[in-house]
A and B are shown apart, each in its own frame.
Chain A
């Protein structure tokens, strides 16, 4: 009986560890995109809806000069010009997709922090999922192999005869 219990507690411990890991990852992912409320950009859009779209777009367009900053956060001149372009296009009634098309037609896909799903970028989007599945499969194999090491149905072997 004790071995069955030992196997169960081992399984429990593995699941607890995996669960904790996932929780930690989720927590990090949730905290990461928090942006500083203050910024270099005081632009006010006429409506809250436009303001939200403006903020979204300027955060997903790369500052080509500084490269690791979004145009929303960059103090350089070109970023300000591109922000004004986004502002003008949204006020003129253009869609978010129009703005992205406008930018990629001039600066290439590199200007988008979130690349679009296309044959060229498919691996980029699919690789994490594929790697996760491979990892899950490998862990499952390992866990199965380890559990098999613990005999489950031979109670008498370690039963203490003196009791």
Chain B
């Protein structure tokens, strides 16, 4: 014969488990998983920040790895990650392609002149339309795209040495062929 507390206790334990799973999977606990992962990187063709007569296009990037970094001079965290981006450039493992998101061109140029330019090329997204295609919701965001043009990793927030060695480097340079 079951104790009369058995059923309530069992229900309580079940509730705790359900809530624990809910809390663990809460989007507030971390970045929202991007539906772009595993799929082709969005197409774009935008003006080049340093040379507005030329365009930066996704088609021109195919065939090699690249890091797609969304930033803006209005974004505080972008300043925080800038030093890390310069390190990534120095490591010369994978090129950084910048997306200057809803920014002022002159301010963006002076930002790069002052802090150093970690980007191989910077595309200018004045309307924010390309950022929407990439599902960007808060700069800085960084996407890793493989030579087939597939988005294999996304990081929301400032790029850190941790993310670089744990998530990016092993994908781009497996077997530790290249040092960070």
Contact = CB atoms under 8 A, between A and B. Distances in A.
B34 A108 contact: yes
Contacts of B129: 81, 85
A65 interface: yes
Contacts of A10: none
Contact of A108 (B131, B135, B136): B135
B35 A67 contact: no
A106 B130 CA distance: 11
Interface in B122-140: 127-129, 131-138
B132 A106 contact: yes
A103 to B, nearest CB: 9
Contacts of B132: 81-82, 85, 106
Interface in A27-56: none
Interface string B136-166: 1110000000000000000000000000000
A64 B102 contact: no
Contacts of B136: 78
A110 B36 CA distance: 14
A117 interface: no
A77 B125 CA distance: 14
Contact of B128 (A67, A81, A105, A107): A81
Most B Cβ at <10 Å: residue of A77, A85, A107: A107
Nearest to B37: A108
How many of chain B's residues touch chain A, expressed as a range? 10 to 19
B102 A77 contact: yes
B17 interface: no
Nearest to A134: B11
Given A106-B132, A106-B133, A65 B35 contact: no
Interface in A86-111: 104-108, 110
A18 B46 CA distance: 63
A102 to B, nearest CB: 9
A77 B138 CA distance: 10
A126 to B, nearest CB: 14
Interface of A: 64-65, 67, 77-78, 81-82, 85, 104-108, 110
27 contacts: A64-B32, A64-B137, A64-B138, A65-B137, A65-B138, A67-B28, A77-B102, A78-B128, A78-B136, A78-B137, A78-B138, A81-B102, A81-B127, A81-B128, A81-B131, A81-B132, A82-B132, A85-B132, A106-B36, A106-B135, A107-B35, A107-B135, A107-B137, A108-B32, A108-B135, A110-B27, A110-B32
Closest 8 CB pairs of A and B: A64-B137, A106-B135, A81-B128, A108-B35, A107-B135, A110-B32, A65-B137, A65-B138
